[in-house]
Amino acid sequence: MAVHLGSVPIKLGVLSESDHMSVASINLFVALLCACIVIGHLLEENRWMNESITALLIGLGTGVIILLTTKGKSSHLRVFSEELFFIYLLPPIIFNAGFQVKKKRFFRNFMTIMLFGAVGTLISFIIISLGAIGIIKKMDIGVLEIGDYLAVGAIFSATDSVCTLQVLSQDETPLLYSLVFGEGVVNDATSIVLFNAIQNFDLGNIDAVTVLKFVANFFSLFFTSTFLGAFAGLFSAYIIKKLYFGRHSTDREVAIMILMAYLSYMLAELLDLSGILTVFFCGIVMSHYTWHNVTESSRVTTTHAFATSSFIAEIFLFLYVGMDALDIEKWKVASNSPGKSVAVSSILLGMVLIGRAAFVFPLSFLSNLSKKSPNEKITFKQQVVIWWAGLMRGAVSIALAYNKFARPGHTQLRGNAIMITSTITVVLFNTVGSQHVIRASKF
């Protein structure tokens, strides 16, 4: 029966150019996942650590070991795969976030969230791009066109919802959570429009029409994505209620919920919408309607099954990013000019800080004006936290950076290599750094 599996590792070895991992590396990954969970559990009380940081560190450690054992030869274990990330890891995380989010709180702050997610992202994009063009361009780190710098702007203004979920607790700080996470979700739609704008529109002359087009684009994208997600959720609720699956088996109910949610995400991707927005709202609707139409055991199962899969996906993700951070080739190329790449990293870091500060504080001020009751206003301390929490740049930024700068062989070009290594540096710094700052500051 499984007889020919002896040959699978070889077969997989053949496929390993793609993101397909060999049996051996799957074993390693699963074992590491278990380790992360156990360690994360043991360090539960330690407020400086959590699963994601543990995973990140273990990933780095494993990367080092692999490097040493393979004598610096690049191993497919460390190649970051966008497919794996966007098709398998991201959907459960975002869906679960939507499924567990406090809906009332979320919708009360909807306008502020939109403000941060749309206008804010735009502001930080502009600042970072201008900064990149203004400073990095002068450092001749290699051939990079204006488009590349704009891409940098978009990459570093794409906040990482996943990391946000890791640092802010919905129960301890509901307002901050809904603001920062909500921003992250809307931010996704914005950055899609941004990228398309960069690619399609004529950047030479940006006039009123382009801007209007841009705004129209954003809103159509936002609403179609949201609608698709809400529709998928309602549809699942309808058929489960109408057909009364529970009569025969709760497994069918759970299966339908999972499949419909995933379908909504993949459909959104197929239609070039924001899958994140879609699956997020699908989660909200499902927890609000579908969840109440299923049997009791299905409720328990879905609640925990979704949380667990999101939990595993997150750990996997950080483990993956940690390992990937050591893709030796790029570092080799970049390290020919160590000074420069350090400089670039720190400049980008600074730009991210400034770019984010430049919209968090003004926009918070604006939204405070609209709020009557003082306890709904965003205090300065909270604004600082929002500023920091949103600094997170995680797997998403890395995926984008790869997509832009790591086309086959391109990492040989110094410019691209430096860009990617800097991205990784910024990601590692931010993720570990700001998590600690936020945990330290008992807001």
Which 212-241 residues touch a copy of itself, going by CB under 8 A?
Answer: 239
Amino acid at 374: P
Binding part of the chain for a copy of itself, among 78-86, 324-332, 356-364, 433-441 by CB under 8 A, reads 78-86
d(CA 352, CA 350): 5
**Close Cβ partners of 396 (under 8 Å, ≥ 6 residues apart):** 158, 160, 161, 162
| CB closer to a copy of itself out of 109 and 236 | 236
The minimum distance between CB 372 and a copy of itself, in angstroms, equals: 33
d(CA 52, CA 403): 24
Residues in 80-119 that interact with a copy of itself by CB under 8 A: 82-83, 86-87, 90
| CB closer to a copy of itself out of 196 and 368 | 196
| CB closer to a copy of itself out of 183 and 327 | 183
d(CA 77, CA 330): 15
Task: From 422, 408, 410, select the one nearest 325 (Cα to Cα).
Answer: 422
> What single DSSP character describes residue 120?
I
Given a contact cutoff of 8 angstroms between Cβ atoms, the answer to whether 330 and 67 are in contact is no
Alpha helices per DSSP H over 390-442? 395-405, 414-440
Task: From 406, 241, 218, select the one nearest 327 (Cα to Cα).
Answer: 406
Binding part of the chain for a copy of itself, among 65-73, 165-173, 244-252, 355-363 by CB under 8 A, reads 244-252
The contact mask relative to a copy of itself for 158-197 (x = CB under 8 A, - = no) is x--x-------------------------xx--xx-xxx-
| CB closer to a copy of itself out of 266 and 357 | 266
CA distances (Å), 3 to each of 7, 8, 14, 24, 74, in order?
Answer: 9, 10, 19, 17, 31
Residues in 42-61 that interact with a copy of itself by CB under 8 A: 42, 44
The minimum distance between CB 96 and a copy of itself, in angstroms, equals: 10
Three-state SS for 155-224 is HHHCCCHHHHHHHCCCCCCHHHHHHHHHHHHHHHHHHHHHHHHHHHCCCCCCCHHHHHHHHHHHHHHHHH
d(CA 278, CA 209): 28
| CB closer to a copy of itself out of 307 and 358 | 307
Measure CA of the first residue to CA of the last residue in the chain; give whole Å. Answer: 59
Given a contact cutoff of 8 angstroms between Cβ atoms, the answer to whether 9 and 22 are in contact is yes
Tell me which of 56, 118, 123, 154 binds a copy of itself, using CB under 8 A. Answer: 154
The minimum distance between CB 18 and a copy of itself, in angstroms, equals: 4
Q: Quick check: 250 binds a copy of itself (CB under 8 A)? A: yes
Tell me which of 256, 319, 392, 427 binds a copy of itself, using CB under 8 A. Answer: 256
| Residue 304 burial by Cβ neighbours in a 10 Å radius (0-12, 13-18, 19+) | exposed
The minimum distance between CB 379 and a copy of itself, in angstroms, equals: 28
Tell me which of 214, 311, 331, 429 binds a copy of itself, using CB under 8 A. Answer: 311
Tell me which of 67, 267, 358, 432 binds a copy of itself, using CB under 8 A. Answer: 267
Residues in 6-25 that interact with a copy of itself by CB under 8 A: 6-9, 11-12, 15, 18-20, 23-24
Binding part of the chain for a copy of itself, among 38-46, 68-76, 383-391, 415-423 by CB under 8 A, reads 38-46
Q: Quick check: 70 binds a copy of itself (CB under 8 A)? A: no
Q: Quick check: 419 binds a copy of itself (CB under 8 A)? A: no
The minimum distance between CB 418 and a copy of itself, in angstroms, equals: 20
Query: Which residue in the block uniquely carries the two structure tokens 């430049």?
Result: 358
| CB closer to a copy of itself out of 295 and 379 | 295
Residues in 271-300 that interact with a copy of itself by CB under 8 A: 272, 274-276, 297-298, 300
Residues in 351-410 that interact with a copy of itself by CB under 8 A: 396, 399-400, 403-404
Q: Quick check: 266 binds a copy of itself (CB under 8 A)? A: yes
